[in-house]
Amino acid sequence: MHRTMAWSAATVAAVAVLSFPAFAGTLPINGHTTAAPVSSVAVKAARLEPHPEIKRAIVALQRAKYAMQHAAHDFGGHRAAALVECDKAIEQLKLALQYDKN
């Protein structure tokens, strides 16, 4: 009897999820939940994107570099060295992504 109830509950849950397309728009993509409906192609593409964390790190470093370049102060004399290190880190991450393609 418990198996019948479990199967019934599972079937009802599956039918409910498949019957309401609104659930499709709340699928998490790269850790973010979307409010708008998302096609299954977009969901698959987001999951298959190679190394999204590395790409986000490159963008974050570029933003930090821009902020340091346009800051009103020199961060206690560390701005020049930080800019050099940001450039090195960005270059290394780009090389890592290139190496993965080979």
Domain identity same for 66 and 95: yes
pLDDT at 13: 43
Domain identity same for 42 and 58: no
Domain identity same for 6 and 44: yes
The full DSSP string for 81-100 is HHHHHHHHHHHHHHHHHHHH
Domain identity same for 90 and 69: yes
pLDDT at 43: 60
Domain identity same for 65 and 35: no
pLDDT at 6: 41
Is 0.75 surpassed by the pTM of this model?
no
Please count the structural domains in the chain. Answer: 2
Which residues constitute the domain of residue 61? 52-101
pLDDT at 7: 43
Domain identity same for 72 and 90: yes
pLDDT at 87: 97
List of long-range contacts for 50-58, beta carbons under 8 Å, 24+ apart:
50/97, 50/100, 51/97, 51/100, 54/93, 54/96, 54/97, 55/97, 57/93, 58/90, 58/93, 58/94
pLDDT at 102: 60
> How is residue 85 written in tokens?
């290190």
Domain identity same for 65 and 88: yes
Residues (pLDDT < 50) of the chain are 1-30
